[in-house]
Structure 1
């Protein structure tokens, strides 16, 4: 079977991240994601003793588990099978060439009934920048170049967890709107986060000198914010799944329900004690 082409240029991604780390600016949104993960872990009645954190920026996650093992989010993860009771995939899955393969490796690295938590950018991320760049490039050149990473939709992510063999999969998202002085300040912030263009199919040639000024003009016109600023959307998608274990809850067998759905859905149905068995 022919191998599909890589989406991400891993060497370019590594350069982008190294530059951000040297500047000490990569923590934007990473810290917010770490706080969200910490809150979710607080709702789990479990003490974890062998955590693993996967990601390109270890520093923002240090407060979560100072003694956790940390590894890079390479295509082939450095994970020992059944070695961890908690694995956190910290903001790298959207760059993965094989997201399902990453999740399968994580599931195999968990002990039975171990917990996986992941965070990645979702499909609504940078929708404004994507639209402005596309409109500007189409008008100036009559074509489009890959400039913003394609990202998954929330309805598809739960399916990835199931395909990877996780039990009790859950996917949800948090959308944040950030404002910038101009689109140029947004693009500078993306580079500072290590989230610059690392697409394998990106155009290596220098763009036209008028492309980004035109995109910034369209951006300011189409997506204004208060005080003459522009808005940018970031969608953080959170993935939760458990390594299968016989003690976990199982879906009910078809036909095994004790009450009629119509009774449960009628007004006050949640409090009705008179529903008849099927």
Structure 2
């Protein structure tokens, strides 16, 4: 019996290249990482609410500095190990906490990634993941559709919703799993600033079938669409739907 292959929606090569770029950009401008900072605060708030202080924590992020620092302040030891490939078994386990930020929305085998995370936890360990879920980037989606005209290209990643994430958490073997979401809105004065923010935070396209670059005409249409969506102050509101997955082993 052959094992069914996992559809390759995302390019691993492009994903790892984006990761390296994000690490470099974060070092150059730590203040541009508002989404990671927001996710880090969200995870710590949940740990405080549950009164759970992990002895050993693994932070799954390109640049884990903000969350690792907050956890260390609360007395947790932070695992010193390279960022694992989420689609492979972890090189070690026994973690009391595995926290993932903006990683799981671009893995080809999300069920497998959740199974590997559960297996790497110590008994009674906790897994928390924050990612951009269904409904994220609606303004950019409209802008890119206007830019492409009658032949739209796939430029926005497929996005997972609460119901699907909850089912996957159960299949992965987590107990007491909870999946919820909330909106984070950001206002932009220009399309260039919006794109620069996504690039700086490691949120750009890593689809296996890379879309064609925007032409000069399509870029002009994108800017016109942005201007048409702007409010009285010349700003466009973009939305990130932050999906948070929580489960215990």
TM-score range for the pair, normalised by the shorter chain length: 0.7 to 0.9
Asked if residue 22 in structure 1 is aligned to residue 18 in structure 2, the reply is no
> Following superposition, which runs of at least 4 residues in structure 1 exceed 4 angstroms of deviation?
none
Deviation at 1:21, TM superposition (A): 2.4
Residue 114 of structure 1 corresponds to 125
**Residue 51 (structure 2) aligns with:** 45
The alpha-carbon deviation at position 2 of structure 1 amounts to: 4.1
Q: Is residue 98 of structure 2 the alignment partner of residue 91 of structure 1?
A: no
TM-superposition CA deviations, 1:195-249 (whole Å, max 9, x none):
111111113x44322112212211331x323411111111111111111xxxxxx
Aligned counterpart for 1:182 among listed residues 178, 187, 190: 190
CA contact (8 A) 1:166 1:242 kept: yes
Q: Which has the higher helix share?
A: 2
Q: 1:40-189, aligned counterparts within 5 Å?
A: 40-66=46-72, 67-69=77-79, 70-74=81-85, 75-81=87-93, 83-137=94-148, 139=149, 142-189=150-197
Query: Is 1:51–1:86's contact at 8 Å kept on the other side of the alignment?
Result: yes
* Counterpart for residue 225 of structure 1: 231
Q: 1:228 to 1:62 in 2, by over 3 A?
A: same
Distance 2:106 2:244 in 1: 15
Say if 2:226 is the partner of 1:216: no
Q: TM-score, normalised by structure 2?
A: 0.88
Which digits, 9 at most, give the CA deviation of each residue in 1:108-144, with x for residues without a partner?
A: 111222111111111111111112212331x2xx322
Query: Is contact 1:119-1:236 (8 Å) kept?
Result: yes
Deviation of 1:164 after TM superposition, in Å, equals: 0.7
Name the structure 2 match of 1:191. Answer: 199
Deviations 1:15-60 (A, max 9, x none): 2232232233462210111011101000113332121111222222
Gaps of 5+ in 1: 244-278
Note the C-alpha offset of 1:84: 1.3
Give the alignment's Cα RMSD to 1 decimal.
Answer: 1.9
| Contact 1:107–1:166, Cα closer than 8 Å, also in 2 | yes
Q: Secondary structure at the match of 1:228?
A: coil
Q: Verify the 8 A CA contact 1:170 1:240 in the aligned structure 2.
A: yes
Q: Which of 1 and 2 has higher RCO (CA within 8 Å, sep 6+)?
A: 2
Q: Distance in 2 between matches of 1:38 and 1:229?
A: 31
Cα 1:46–1:60, aligned 2, differ >3 Å: closer, same or farther? closer
Q: What is the TM-score normalised by the length of structure 1?
A: 0.79
Q: Secondary structure at the match of 1:64?
A: helix
- Structure 2: how far apart are the matches of 1:163 and 1:36? 25
Cα 1:226/1:163, change in 2 over 3 Å: farther
Task: After TM superposition, give the deviation of residue 175 of structure 1 in Å.
Answer: 0.4
The range that moved more, 170-179 or 59-68, is: 59-68
Instruction: Note if contact 1:120-1:236 (Cα within 8 Å) is conserved in structure 2.
Output: yes
Contact 1:145 1:202 in 2 (8 A): no
Instruction: Please tell me whether the aligned partners of residues 181 and 242 of structure 2 are also in contact (alpha carbons under 8 angstroms).
Output: yes
